[in-house]
């Protein structure tokens, strides 16, 4: 059973119409889950981890083959 994690709302990507295609990725160094999503208007990807908030790039985006630094990137979304 996974431990429950409490996430401060100030630390997450806003849950509104600006972000889409949300999914979670587990940290390699802890049991923390981070949320990755695409910004609808500019089509760049973001993460709610401290690295992305500070530098606009992170190892979570890199692990998913997504560009950092707010570069637009489209993916093929397969709905199952």
Using 50, 70 and 90 to split pLDDT, how confident is the model at 4? very low
Per domain, the residue ranges of the chain are 4-79
The widest CA-to-CA distance across the chain, in whole angstroms, is: 38
pLDDT band at residue 14 under the 50/70/90 scheme? low
Residue 15: pLDDT band (50, 70, 90) is low
CA triple 62-68-71, angle to 5 deg: 135
Alpha carbons 31 and 14: distance in angstroms, whole number: 22
The lowest-confidence range among 8-12, 33-37, 64-68, 76-80 is 8-12
């Amino acid at each position: 059973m996974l431990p429950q994690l409490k996430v401060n709302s100030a630390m997450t990507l806003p849950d509104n119409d600006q972000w889409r295609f949300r999914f979670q990725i587990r940290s390699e160094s802890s049991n923390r889950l981070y949320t990755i999503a695409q910004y609808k208007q500019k089509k760049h990807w973001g993460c709610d981890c401290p690295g992305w908030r500070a530098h606009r790039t992170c190892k979570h985006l890199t692990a998913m083959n997504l560009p950092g630094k707010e570069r637009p990137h489209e993916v093929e979304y397969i709905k199952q």
